[in-house]
């Protein structure tokens, strides 16, 4: 292993061998770099699993605006309340059907079905992500 040294006064370049100490320092630095590589690769694989999860779950709600997504929990709660007691107050659902011309029964059935599907899809995606992260990190 050699290095090139340049004389700043003359501009002449000379090939000079590394000293034993310089070689030893290089070996130590390379060993430290290589020792860190598995951890870095594990983190990259974990980050990739999380990114895939985020893309998968985003696709589940891609047909909805954020404003509509923000009402999902209220829609589901009102649909469950209506299913338990058809006299329960459901102001959000009432507003939706006043403009959509859906029947309340059809809307409630759709909300309950969509919520169940979303929970199952998200649950499976979470499970896949957890497994991939665990494998990536070796835990």
pTM: 0.69
1 pLDDT more than 80:
no
State the total domains in the chain: 1
Given the structure tokens 């499970």, which residue do they identify? 127
Can you give the pLDDT at residue 139?
A: 85
78 pLDDT more than 80:
yes
Digit-coded pLDDT (tens) for 87-126? 999 999 999 999 999 999 999 999 999 999 999 999 999 9
Domain that holds residue 132: 2-137
Digit-coded pLDDT (tens) for 16-66? 888 888 888 888 888 888 787 888 888 989 999 999 999 999 999 999 999
Can you give the pLDDT at residue 129?
A: 95
Number of Cα atoms under 13 Å in the Cβ half of residue 128: 16
Better pLDDT: 85 or 137? 85
> Which of 16, 15, 53, 41 is CA-nearest to residue 132?
53
Can you give the pLDDT at residue 37?
A: 84
Number of Cα atoms under 13 Å in the Cβ half of residue 101: 0
Can you give the pLDDT at residue 97?
A: 97
What stretch of H or E contains 46?
A: helix 20-60
């Amino acid at each position: 292993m050699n290095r090139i040294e340049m004389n700043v006064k003359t501009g002449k370049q000379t090939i000079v061998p590394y000293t034993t100490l310089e070689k030893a320092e290089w070996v130590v630095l390379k060993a430290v770099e290589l020792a860190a590589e598995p951890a870095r690769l594990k983190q990259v694989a974990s980050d990739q699993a999380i990114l895939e999860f985020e893309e998968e779950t985003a696709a589940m709600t891609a047909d909805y605006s954020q404003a509509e997504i923000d009402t999902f929990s209220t829609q589901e709660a009102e649909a469950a309340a209506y299913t338990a007691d058809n006299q329960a107050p459901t102001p959000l659902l009432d507003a939706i059907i006043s403009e959509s011309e859906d029947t309340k029964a059809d809307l409630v059935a759709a909300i309950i079905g969509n919520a169940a599907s979303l929970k199952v899809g998200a649950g499976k995606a979470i499970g896949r992500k957890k497994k991939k992260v665990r494998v990536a990190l070796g835990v």
